[in-house]
Every structure is written in structure tokens, then in C-alpha cells.
Amino acid sequence: HCHPIALADPPAATAWFTAEEPNLQAARRLAKRRDWHRDVWHLAWNTMVYRRQQALLWERLRAAQDGVAAAEALGDPITLHLSLRCLGACESQLGDNEAAVDHVKQALSIATEHQDIAGQAHALHILDMAVARTADSERGLGYAEESLRLFRMLEQPVWVARKLNSVGWHAC
């Protein structure tokens, strides 16, 4: 059996991820070759924050693409929603806003179908950010306002503040 390692603090976790990053990539590739879809998804999903913090954007994109493929194979709509949202965020960060919007709209559709208000709010947030990079303020304002409405419903004050800021940027 595998037992988790207790890491003392965030710097210890970062050091662990830094040391193990090549092994985590290799494990994901092996799991992908063997069609261990659940493992591929977990290895992709659980490394996203580290890769974003370390600016490993291309590896983050590859992992997100593997995560979407694994989620599709698993047939789990919530996992697919999360994976598409993550892929869209990666694509937007790398400047592929057209692909980002397409993938995040798919995620939004799944979240809407499953009445996942938080999932809808986060998908709209990513759409807002992707569209903001294209200078389409009108469309971005719509996404920002709808995301704001949902985060208010969810009583998420930090997200409400972020979306108020976004609405202000689009409005000016």
C-alpha cells in the first residue's frame, strides 16, 4: 500500500513536487499507455496548482489535455467539466483564446445540465478572463456579470470582489 507523506508546510510541498515532477510526468505517461484513466486524471488534476505556480505552462497544458481524454474515457460528466475548465484556463494563459472559449463553453454546458452553480460560476469566470485577453469587452462584461450573479448566490465574498473588479474593467 502507498501511504501519503506528511509535508510540514507549503515550501516543503513545493520542494517535493519539484523533486518528483519528472516522475509524476512519467507516471502519467505510463498510466496513459495502459489506459488507467482514473490514474491519468488524478495525476493531471493534482499537479495543476504546482505547475501554474512554477510557470510550467506547456506541461500543464499537456496534463490538462490528458485529463480531458481520461475524463471522456471515464464517462463522468463532473470530472469532464473540471477537466475542460482546466484545459480552457491553460489554453487562455498560453494565448489560444479561441480553443479556451470552446472548451470552457463545453464545461459550462455540463455544469448547467447538472445544475452545478459553482461550476457555472467558475466556468464563466474563465470565459471572462479568456475574452478579456481578446479585448472583447462587451462579451467579457456579460460573462463577468453572470459570474458575479452566481458568486453572489453562492455567498462567496472573495469571488464577488474579483468579479466586481472584472465588471469594472470591462465597463470602462
**Stretch 42-49: mean pLDDT:** 91
Tens-digit pLDDT profile for residues 15-34: 999 999 999 999 999 999 99
89-65-135 Cα angle (round to 5): 30
pLDDT of residue 31: 96
Tens-digit pLDDT profile for residues 91-150: 999 999 999 999 999 999 999 999 999 999 999 999 999 988 787 788 889 999 999 999
**Measuring CA to CA, which residue among 149, 83, 164 is closest to residue 117?**
149
pLDDT of residue 154: 97
165-119-172 Cα angle (round to 5): 20
Backbone region of residue 55 per phi and psi (left: phi > 0; alpha: psi in -120 to 50; beta: other values): left
**Stretch 47-68: mean pLDDT:** 92
Its pTM stands at 0.89
Q: Do 16 and 7 meet the contact criterion of CB atoms below 8 Å apart?
A: yes
Residue 1 has pLDDT above 70, yes or no: no
Q: How far apart are CA 46 and CA 51, in angstroms?
A: 10
**Cβ-based neighbours of 39, under 8 Å, separated by 6 or more:** 27, 28, 31
Tens-digit pLDDT profile for residues 63-101: 999 999 999 999 999 999 999 999 999 999 999 999 999
pLDDT of residue 40: 95
